[in-house]
Structure 1
Amino acid sequence: MTDQERTVRPANKRGAARLAAVQALYQMDVGEVDLNDTIAEYEAYRLGNELDGEQYRDADPQFFRDIVSGVVKHQRDLDPLIHTSLVPGWPLSRIDALLRAILRCGAYELVERKDVPPRVVISEYIDIANAFYSQDEPGMVNGVLDAVARKKRAAGLEKTASGS
């Protein structure tokens, strides 16, 4: 079976949706773009489409919308949670916009998406961080999201750690 013949699994579509959500939130942060306009742009022109010679992976549009709109809706609760998980003296505002978007998406999923195991959420956002950073940032994403998971979903972490 060739790569082109393989069907895209739902997990792959969710991974693509996570990456697109991070990019959309980054775009909203630096460009001060409206939530609805951003979602409409991504759904019409980016998710699964070619843009400027780059092919975007097929993504789960509902999952994408949920993450982006959920982060915006719950940001006032997510930011303090992330802040308390950072190293003292490093406020969230000091972190670059892309890393903030990664942390916010991961924190949102850990708090609101109980259908996704915490270890899956953490692993997915570490992978996204690795796509953009080559220094300490992926480790920081791991540490912060692990701390958030321990505060909000400790039972889910224990289950997966013990193999149940």
Structure 2
Amino acid sequence: MSGRPKQARSVARLAAVQALYQMEVSGVGVEAVIREFSEHRFDRGLEGEESAPLAAADEAFFADLVRGVVSTQREIDSAIVKRLATGWRLERLDSTVRAILRAGAFELARRDDVPVEVVIDEYVELAKSFFEGPEPGFVNGALDGVAQDVRS
């Protein structure tokens, strides 16, 4: 049973990254994207088959992540930019990397109930699921730096 809540949070993190990405590329609002995920994406089987549901997401955690990133985006972005190479702007990053960093930075800054190592490991694993190049290492370094800045 102890693996289930962890898995539910992992699924919520993936969904949050997807939702943040979707909001950025389509301009859809936060409540609309949360509603879409709740009504159409969670607890659905592959290709919509109800008989084989995917791992259940912690929907409250998902909604907290997405709303939190949006409501604190200026603060979150500032924390991330501080850890980018000199002269780099957040806009230069791939939009998926940006979504991963924003969700991870939000958890580090505002979710003291989640250990730093868990946050970094989870988002590095997410980066690995999207990218085969240097991005996971970049996410690791950036979030480690953000953690040093926002957690004592």
Partner of 1:158: none
Deviations 1:112-155 (A, max 9, x none): 0000000100000000000000000000000000000001114x
Q: Is the 8 A contact 1:17 1:64 kept in 2?
A: yes
TM-score by length of 1: 0.86
State the number of aligned residues. 149
Which of the residues 40, 44, 50 maps onto 1:45?
A: 40
Tell me, in whole angstroms, the C-alpha distance in 1 between the residues paired with 2:123 and 2:135. 11
Tell me, in whole angstroms, the C-alpha distance in 1 between the residues paired with 2:65 and 2:22. 14
Deviations 1:12-62 (A, max 9, x none): 000000000000000000011111110000001111213635864310000
Partner of 1:113: 111
Q: Which one-letter code corresponds to 2:47 in the other structure?
A: D
Tell me, in whole angstroms, the C-alpha distance in 2 between the residues paired with 1:123 and 1:61. 20
For structure 1, which runs of at least 5 residues remain unmatched after alignment? 1-5, 155-164
Tell me, in whole angstroms, the C-alpha distance in 2 between the residues paired with 1:57 and 1:129. 19
Partner of 1:140: 138
Task: Report the RMSD for the aligned CA atoms in angstroms.
Answer: 1.6
TM-score by length of 2: 0.93
For structure 2, which runs of at least 5 residues remain unmatched after alignment? none
Check if 1:77 corresponds to 2:75.
yes
The alignment-based identity, stated in percent, is 49
Q: Give the drift of 1:89.
A: 2.1
Larger Rg, first or second structure (1 or 2)? 1
Deviations 1:71-117 (A, max 9, x none): 00000101011001011122101001111000000000000000000
